Amino acid sequence: MPLRLGVNIDHAATLRQARYARDPVGLLAEPDPVEAALIAEKAGADGITAHLREDRRHMQDRDIFRLKESLRTKLNLEMGNAPEIVAIALQVKAHDVCLVPENRHEITTEGGLDCLAHQTALQTTVGKLRDLGTVVSLFIDPDPDQICAAADLRADYIELHTGAFANATGSARSRELQRLVAGATQAHELGLRVNAGHGLNYQNVSELFVVPFMAELNIGHAIISRALFTGLADAVAEMKALCARYPL
């Protein structure tokens, strides 16, 4: 199956909130992240990713419900395991949910979820989501113990955190790639499907193609950044074409 591309549209909402945080649903509030999502779908995105944070720094509750109603592909809801956000997820009934760590002081997600330390709380949330028929993914580092814990939690997917790879250079980059290769292989052997994301862009994504068994990449910042110069449709199509080079 070809490597799928999930387009994260959070930063369309970031731009809106920069000016319209007090009235994100007003007549002048733009850009509309739902419009961005529909353009991305039309350009070839296989799904749309959106992170509803506790501090609502970009996506708002209404955005998530509108996305669920409007998308023709699927909504992948990224979220921390906070009771308020879990309650919204259970109402939205997104096709996919990716549970991620969340720190209000971070600029973006830093590191993977600690499935071992939070196993009991995660088990409850994963169970509730799976009971709804939601596909559950856990955003984790390529650590053997974390991958085993994800399997014990009965997640459908793991999403390998590729940030360390993206930030590394030289021999450190090679080591991070090998960690990702080993992590994807272990996950596959445990019956977990494999996604990946964080820090991926037009320059480094092809390097990741040595990692086996990947089903989907979730990419946001690089695509939204490229869209400033090329338009969103072309930015998505270009990344989709790169994904098509992944060896089957």
Task: Assign 3-class secondary structure to 87-98.
Answer: HHHHHHCCCEEE
Task: Check if 176 is active-site.
Answer: no
CATH number of the domain enclosing 102: 3.20.20.70
- 79 is in which domain, residue-wise? 4-243
Quick one: 62 exposed, middle or buried, by C-beta within 10 A (0-12, 13-18, 19+)? exposed
Asked whether the whole model's pTM tops 0.85, one would answer yes
3-state SS class at 161: strand
196 in a structural domain = yes
Task: Check if 51 is active-site.
Answer: yes
Helix H, strand E, coil C: the string for 95-112 is CEEEECCCCCCCCCCCCC
Structure tokens at 209: 């193609």
148 in a structural domain = yes
174 in a structural domain = yes
CA neighbor of 113 nearest in space, from 136, 93, 92, 96: 136
pLDDT recorded at residue 248? 76
Task: Check if 198 is active-site.
Answer: yes
How high is the mean pLDDT of the chain?
96
**Catalytic, out of 41, 78, 102, 216:** 78
49 in a structural domain = yes
248 in a structural domain = no
How many other β-carbons are positioned within 10 Å of the β-carbon of residue 88?
17
pLDDT of residue 109 exceeding 80, the answer is no
Instruction: Fill in the DSSP letter of residue 57.
Output: S
**Catalytic, out of 51, 58, 102, 159:** 51
Confidence of residue 105 (pLDDT cuts 50, 70, 90): low
**Do 140 and 146 touch, CB atoms closer than 8 A?**
yes
Q: How many domains does the chain have?
A: 1
160 in a structural domain = yes
96 in a structural domain = yes
Interatomic CA distance for residues 215 and 208, integer angstroms: 13
108 in a structural domain = yes
